[in-house]
Amino acid sequence: MGVLILLKGKNVAEQINDEISEKVEKLKKNGIIPTLVIMWAGEDTDTLYYISSIEKACISTGISLIKRNFHERIDQETFLNEFKAVNENPTINGIIVMRPLPPQINEGTIAEQIKPEKDIDCISPINIAKVFSGTGGGFAPCTAESVMEILKYYNVELKGKDVVVIGRSMVVGRPVAMMLLKQNATVTICHSKTKDLPNVARRADILVAALGKPNFINRNFIKKGAVVIDVGINELDNEIVGDVDFDDAVHMAGMITPVPGGVGLVTTGVLLRNVLKAVNLQKCY
């Protein structure tokens, strides 16, 4: 095994959170209280866990958080009316509508209606188009942006590098591939129908695993010395594990994110930083 560099999310998250706290203090001195609303229906455990981590980060950075929880059987009209009130309220800067929503609520309607300047987790087609066209200026999905933040923090060169992204979801795989492309990497996107995945993955200087399969990626998928970014968060035998079999992958990887303690730690910081970006876009001062 060569020298292995652990790409800890904690360092990246601390830097982002320090920047947020500083900016929030300045905004508050000017009478602006950055405000985030989280709306959700039902009591999904993963949703509640994510909300509690956002709440902790809001408390530590000084961002105001309003939580709007509804019954899982709420009808679409009532939910949409509540959503519209938040969407139109000028004192609200950022909105997250937690998914999955119950089946009677049409997620597409919310994505169409959310004001792009409040859409801090990138569900609006306008923000998605900005990520995919590479023009920027909107919001990117927070997990995809967290991957980019980790690569930037640890000075991983992207220009001209071969990157393989495993997974093509709209929240992780596709947007992160576009963001890497914008940084002039040569990007291959893999999915469940990709032939001979280990062989394709072994071409990568940088391998991004976002497939949602616990410990799936082992040393056979990794070129010697490659940078491995594990986006996966999976529960296995009451433990949280990534999509990468860390103990095996370290025999080949040059740099690797741990799970837990990697990408997931950065996501909340990126989300809250987007609330401040929203304040700017809404020209609150």
Measured between alpha carbons, how far is 96 from 10 in angstroms, rounded to an integer?
Answer: 23
Residues 192-211 that bind ligand NAP (CB under 6 A): 192-194, 197, 210-211
Closest CA to 253 of 277, 282, 228, 236: 228
Measured between alpha carbons, how far is 190 from 176 in angstroms, rounded to an integer?
Answer: 12
Minimum distance from CB of 213 to ligand NAP (Å)? 5
Per CB under 6 A, the list member of 13, 243, 256, 271 interacting with ligand NAP is 243
If DSSP codes are grouped into helix, strand and coil, which group holds residue 233? Answer: coil
> By C-beta, is 7 or 210 nearer to ligand NAP?
210
State how far Cα 108 lies from the chain centre: 20
Per CB under 6 A, the list member of 264, 269, 270, 271 interacting with ligand NAP is 264
Minimum distance from CB of 91 to ligand NAP (Å)? 28
Radius of gyration for the chain, computed over Cα atoms and rounded to the nearest angstrom: 19
Minimum distance from CB of 90 to ligand NAP (Å)? 30
Interface with ligand NAP, residue 11, by CB under 6 A: no
Minimum distance from CB of 141 to ligand NAP (Å)? 8
Of 51-59, 123-131, 161-169, 269-277, the window that binds ligand NAP (rule: CB under 6 A) is 161-169
What torsion, rounded to 10 degrees, do the Cα atoms 2, 233, 164, 139 define?
-120
Residue 54's H or E segment, with its range, is: helix 45-61
Measured between alpha carbons, how far is 140 from 255 in angstroms, rounded to an integer?
Answer: 25
Binding site for ligand NAP (CB under 6 A): 143, 166-169, 171-173, 190-194, 197, 210-213, 231-234, 243, 263-264, 267
